[in-house]
Structure 1
Amino acid sequence: MNHLLILPILLPMFVGSLLLVSGRWLSEGMQRTLALLATLALLPLALWLVAEAHLGLLQVYALGNWVAPFGIVLVLDRLSALMLLVTALLAVLALGYAVRGDDARGPGFHALFQFQLMGINGAFLTGDLFNLFVFFEILLIASYALLLHGGGAERVRAGLHYVLLNLLGSSLFLIALGPIYGIAGTLNMADLAREVANASYDQAPLLGAAGLLLLLVFGLKAAILPLYFWLPRAYAAATAPVAALFAIMTKVGVYAILRVSTMVFGIEAGLLTELLEPWLWPLSLLTLLLGVIGALAASSLHLLLAYLVIVSVGTLLAGVALGNSQALVATLYYLMHSTWVTAGMFLLADLIARQRGGKGTRLEAGPALLQPQLLGGLFFIGAIGMAGLPPLSGFFAKLLLLDAAAGSREALWLWPVLLLGSLGSLVALSRAGSVLFWRAGRVMMGSAERDHGRLLACAALLALSPLLVVVAQPLSGYLEATAEQLRAVELYQQHILPGGPR
């Protein structure tokens, strides 16, 4: 076994634990240094794992040397390696922004940040539904505290809704796992795919009900209609680096839906073949539309960006619902784009707020900005990326998605909804930009802040959108191989289960 495979989980776990128990006697500078070094170490590790995964062979790590389906296994494939890289790069830049002072707003920030990374990385690597639940709980518990970091009545209100709904989701997750384990006798996803494919007529309805309950749980994490109402206020209330890190949180829910829909209830699931797709298709389009309506009605830039997160979730799930290889390539490309650009825009919103005093990011006339040209340029790049206009990566991702639906009846729905969603996003962002940059007064706030470190982290995240265009050709090759690998269920069973598929 390759022991480096477990490092994305162990490294943040040990560093987070060290920061938690030694926080009282380690200086603020030492805590920041330790957290930054640990997070930076995840980046070359993720790059190495992507290189390993690109060889095409699955790598399986059996904890305690107990093989599947009885033991706990971690599985590295192209998709999990890609998600680790997306998370590592996001975490480095979000933490680089946080150490400029946001981390000092409350205790325990760096320990919580590491535990959050532990849960996210574990969710991407696990090959077992129960351990997916465990890692969900780790990242959620850390996110509860991170959301409240810095205090304030608005964060407490948003945090209360967030905690209650996710506790409900966790309970439903366990309820769904009960009948699955009772019937199939396993929660290992590769083994479960085999049992679901062989399910009898009397077992299929209960397994199907449990599968739809899992969709409900993952849909709550991903924030799809009608389960997204917790997200706008929570993301708008969080501090900037926390909101940036939360850009990957909805993607964990989308990842879980993609993983279960392709492996457990995929094209070889017997009586339950493609169980989730008929539900995903209408929910994804409605989520996209209502997210745009929320963005158009938003009263602040933070709230606008939170609703655009919902728009991105709807777009991603539309690609998952289409299900063909080209749609999955578009989905994964858009996932990378939307995660990084959204995170960069949350950081940019904070930079703008720091130069507007009490006006914050409310969409109303305010004082002159200290750096109007620079911040306006970054806003222009981010707005083009989020709206999906050329020549940035959002345009190419949506073009790939539209092309994946061409010639099918789904195109009759996807084309108008996606194009109207892009238009609505553009209108909402244009309105926000005109208010923030053109309706500014002549006098600057005396408390306006200029911070080159924060600005660098923000610009780096937004610069990843044009970078995705530059590397589109080799990246597309990797994503095409990822899409094909996801649909090859027997390949997973061959590498994960003793004796392979039966």
Structure 2
Amino acid sequence: MIQHLIVLPVVLPLVMGVLLLLTRFGSTGLKRSASVITTLLVAVVALALLLRASNGEIAYYALGDWQPPFGIVLVVDRLSALMLMLTAVLALGSVIFACGGDDEKGSNFHGLFQFQLMGINGAFLTGDLFNLFVFFEVLLLASYALLLHGGGKSRIQSAVHYVVLNLAGSALFLIAVGVLYGATGTLNMADMAARLVELPAERDGLVTAGALLLLVVFGLKAAILPLYFWLPRAYAAAPAPVAALFAIMTKVGVYAILRVYSLIFGDNAGNLSALEQPWVWWMALGTLVAGTVGVLAARDLRLLVAYLVLVSAGTLLAGVGMGTPAATASLLYYLLHTTLVTGGLFLLADMIGQQRGKAGTRIVKGRPMTQGGALATLFFIGAAAVAGLPPLSGAIGKVLLLDAAEAGQRLWLWPILLISGLAAIIALSRAGSTLFWRSQDGDRGGAALPRPQWVGVGLLLATSPLLVALAGPVNDYTRATADQLDNPDAMVNALISGNGDTP
């Protein structure tokens, strides 16, 4: 039975998503309960897989008993298990928050939410490139509808931009997969890595073209410069629980770069090894600079948080560009922190906007808030964490990344990353003082916020001190994960040599 856990993060939200869409006119309370329970079950399964992967085991599930490299396989190693757990926690906080009323502002919220959860989990589990494309499309289709949840001019405008760019990315993805299949004769990532060792020299050009096309696609998902322009407005316009779940979307792109280029284009690929690093390193630094400028220029709290997501994407991609196990371990710790904290800040920004009346989330003077004290406390915790102030997890993540940089890299990374942190402190301090200190005119406004919203925000922001308390074990896990990624032969042997655990 334990082997079948691998498929459950895909099957559970798939089945519940279908049931919720078929009963879309049913009881709101029943739909909420079903969605929350399913997400909680996915979290439990993710925890079980995380514990299983923690001993270094690589297990796969061959659907229909078609063994790799011929069939569809779902693979669990340290990295995929970590990403599943992260997604489950973020989704749980988001769906609980949505039960406070956001899910009723449009139709089919919970069904679409489960489909997006299924697509994200599938992208983290799949062992072949074509099904990575399929799961990308599943999560994107759900995200198109969720972005429009509740309607509104700004959401429609952002959605059009978002859809057009991602459709272009999907077309490039399919072309890249076709090129790599034509050159190598396989789509299974482990099998492709094995075949590149003996690839004829005349096919190097084709594989290089396919690999760089994939880098463009994954860079678009990860919001790397100059492909990030879709992110700020789309995230700022999305409903709060959707924007919070979207905090994992850029990390899907980062994950894909880590997975594909460490496994297929690792040290065993000869002349094709480390194709991505020169490109990713410099574009990541540019993304950091662009995100920092956006953080300072933002005059809306949601837009400010969206640019903080962009800064975090640049930081993570800089870790990828450094190309060492130490850097990979550091970026994985930072990835956990930034995904959960920025997700919580999107939810918190919506709560603040609800209590400010017409001023909404714009960073301007407004009336005092009914629950301003509690909101200000949560804002202070979230701002300190995302800006990288000690003793919260952001400080640990940034110190680990700075320490992982080698001599030549420090010359660029240290000043840019530290200045971005200073810019975040300035922007968040300005926002906090305007929202909570300068808003003293008029009567207190806004009704008491629903309890599910407090629970959802509290769950996500509480992960920052928790990551500090568990910094030792978490860092040990991320170091072991980085070492496993640095040894692609382990994945190849587990899948192609039949040494992996399969039902």
TM bracket (short chain): over 0.9
Letter in 2 for 1:495: A
Q: Aligned partners of 1:493 and 1:446: how far apart in 2? A: 60
Letter in 1 for 2:264: V
The aligned counterpart of 1:392 is 392
- The Cα of 1:498 is off from its aligned counterpart by 3.5
Query: Cα deviation per residue 1:262-287 (whole Å; 9 max; x = unaligned)?
Result: 11112221111110000000000100
Letter in 2 for 1:255: Y
- The Cα of 1:319 is off from its aligned counterpart by 0.6
Query: Cα deviation per residue 1:262-315 (whole Å; 9 max; x = unaligned)?
Result: 111122211111100000000001001100101111110000100110000000
Query: Cα deviation per residue 1:16-56 (whole Å; 9 max; x = unaligned)?
Result: 001111222x2111111111111111111111000110121
The aligned counterpart of 2:120 is 120
Letter in 2 for 1:261: Y
Q: Aligned partners of 2:328 and 2:151: how far apart in 1? A: 40
The aligned counterpart of 1:472 is 471
Question: Is the alpha carbon distance of 1:443 and 1:452 closer, same or farther for their aligned partners in structure 2, counting shifts above 3 Å?
Answer: farther
Q: Aligned partners of 2:468 and 2:499: how far apart in 1? A: 39
Matches within 5 A, 1:434-445: 434-445=433-444
Q: Aligned partners of 1:72 and 1:444: how far apart in 2? A: 61
The aligned counterpart of 2:326 is 326
- The Cα of 1:205 is off from its aligned counterpart by 1.4
Q: Does 1:107 align with 2:107?
A: yes
1:356·1:369 contact (CA, 8 Å) conserved in 2?
A: yes
- The Cα of 1:446 is off from its aligned counterpart by 4.2
Q: Does 1:237 align with 2:232?
A: no
- The Cα of 1:201 is off from its aligned counterpart by 2.4
Letter in 2 for 1:340: L
The aligned counterpart of 1:491 is 490
Q: Aligned partners of 1:69 and 1:456: how far apart in 2? A: 44
SS in 1 for 2:268: coil
Q: Aligned partners of 1:151 and 1:133: how far apart in 2? A: 28
Query: Cα deviation per residue 1:302-344 (whole Å; 9 max; x = unaligned)?
Result: 0010011000000001111112111111100000000100011
444-453 or 300-309, larger mean C-alpha shift: 444-453
1:197·1:271 contact (CA, 8 Å) conserved in 2?
A: no
Q: Aligned partners of 1:442 and 1:236: how far apart in 2? A: 27
Q: Aligned partners of 1:42 and 1:71: how far apart in 2? A: 24
1:379·1:433 contact (CA, 8 Å) conserved in 2?
A: yes
- The Cα of 1:195 is off from its aligned counterpart by 2.0
1:245·1:343 contact (CA, 8 Å) conserved in 2?
A: yes
The aligned counterpart of 1:381 is 381
Letter in 2 for 1:4: L
The aligned counterpart of 1:432 is 431
- The Cα of 1:371 is off from its aligned counterpart by 1.9
The aligned counterpart of 2:292 is 292
Letter in 1 for 2:263: M
Query: Cα deviation per residue 1:233-258 (whole Å; 9 max; x = unaligned)?
Result: 11000111111111111110110011
- Report 1 or 2 for greater relative contact order, CA contacts < 8 Å, sequence distance ≥ 6: 2
SS in 1 for 2:408: coil
SS in 2 for 1:224: coil
1:198·1:270 contact (CA, 8 Å) conserved in 2?
A: no
The aligned counterpart of 1:19 is 20
Q: Aligned partners of 1:263 and 1:71: how far apart in 2? A: 19
- The Cα of 1:3 is off from its aligned counterpart by 1.2
The aligned counterpart of 2:408 is 409
Q: Is there any run of 5+ residues in structure 2 with no aligned partner, and where?
A: none
Q: CA RMSD in A?
A: 1.3
Q: Aligned partners of 1:439 and 1:209: how far apart in 2? A: 55
Aligned length: 499
Letter in 1 for 2:136: F
2:69·2:188 contact (CA, 8 Å) conserved in 1?
A: yes
Q: Is there any run of 5+ residues in structure 1 with no aligned partner, and where?
A: none
Query: Cα deviation per residue 1:453-473 (whole Å; 9 max; x = unaligned)?
Result: 211221221110010000011
Matches within 5 A, 1:43-58: 43-58=43-58
Q: Aligned partners of 1:434 and 1:135: how far apart in 2? A: 43
Q: Aligned partners of 1:445 and 1:347: how far apart in 2? A: 21
- The Cα of 1:198 is off from its aligned counterpart by 2.6
- The Cα of 1:445 is off from its aligned counterpart by 4.7
